[in-house]
Amino acid sequence: MKALDLFCCAGGASVGLHQAGFDVTGVDLKPQKRYPFKFHQGNVLEINIEWCRQFDLIWASPPCQHHTAMKTMPDAREHPDLIPQTRELLQKIGKPYIIENVVGARKSLFNPIQLCGTAFGLGVEDADLQRHRLFECSFPVEQMPCNHGARATIGVYGGHMRNRKRRTIGVYGEGCRDSRRKLDRGVADFTIEQGREAMGIDWMSVAELCEAIPPAYSKYLAEQFIKSLTARKYA
């Protein structure tokens, strides 16, 4: 089967679709020199609808700036909410689709499910990768619950068994952040190599990594799509 990744950036979602067995093509407004599959540069909202109908599944990750906390900064630029336009495009195409965005986009998405890195065991060393993202899917999907604290450790010292504070790795703002820095300014952030390991991505720059989702998310949702096809076939 073939999948189309709209607003593909450097291809985090595309790799997950590929891992699920799809032949993937990406489209983005900007050139993506590290994108690992077939790529077309262009404006997604002006795409040829008939051309899109050759694909079995369409993934779309419209820009998230309208829905992030960054929009409240004093020097923040105005960013439009492209989710409604993207949904309208996908409905015109008429193929099964997934729209991905940040948690702040919940009101713009229809019945989204949330995925978290802890549900897939993602992280590095003793740090969980949470990285919550929302997904509007045009087919049934089973929610995977978060597993926060899966990497918490127990320390036996001072006559007591102590549970260490949960540690998380955050990939944002062009860096790989360590949650312990909030309590101890002497703690260094994670390296880009550690960020790549936590995300399951080894080909991106740090800036690209900060805009990506782990391939594990899209792989899971693509497998859910295949499962829904099978269920429909034998219904």
* Residue 34: HSE in the Cβ half-sphere, 13 Å Cα cutoff: 15
The model's pLDDT over 171-230, given as tens digits with 9 standing for 90+, comes to 887 788 888 765 566 667 788 999 999 999 999 998 899 899 999 999 999 999 999 998
Q: Taking each helix axis as running N to C, give the angle between helix 12-19 and helix 215-233, from 0 to 180 degrees, rounded to the nearest 10.
A: 40
Bridge partners of 3?
24, 57
Q: What percent of the chain has pLDDT over 70?
A: 84
What residues does each domain of the chain span?
A: 2-165+214-233
Strands (E), the chain: 2-6, 23-28, 38-41, 57-60, 97-101, 113-115, 123-124, 127-129, 133-137, 154-157, 160-163, 167-172, 175-178
**pLDDT score of 181:** 67
Stretch 40-52: mean pLDDT: 97
**Helix segments in 57-167, DSSP class H:** 83-93
The model's pLDDT over 64-117, given as tens digits with 9 standing for 90+, comes to 865 576 555 445 566 688 999 999 999 999 999 999 999 988 999 999 999 999
Which of 18-27, 63-72, 122-131 has the highest average model confidence (pLDDT)?
18-27
Would you say residue 125 has pLDDT above 70?
yes
Residue at token pair 């989702």? 213
Q: In 3-state terms, what secondary structure has residue 153?
A: coil
124 DSSP 8-state letter: E
Calpha distance 150→145 (Å, rounded) = 12
**Global model pTM greater than 0.85:** yes
C-alpha separations of 5 from 15, 35, 69, 182, 191 in Å: 10, 11, 25, 36, 28
2-165+214-233 topology per CATH = Rossmann fold (3.40.50)
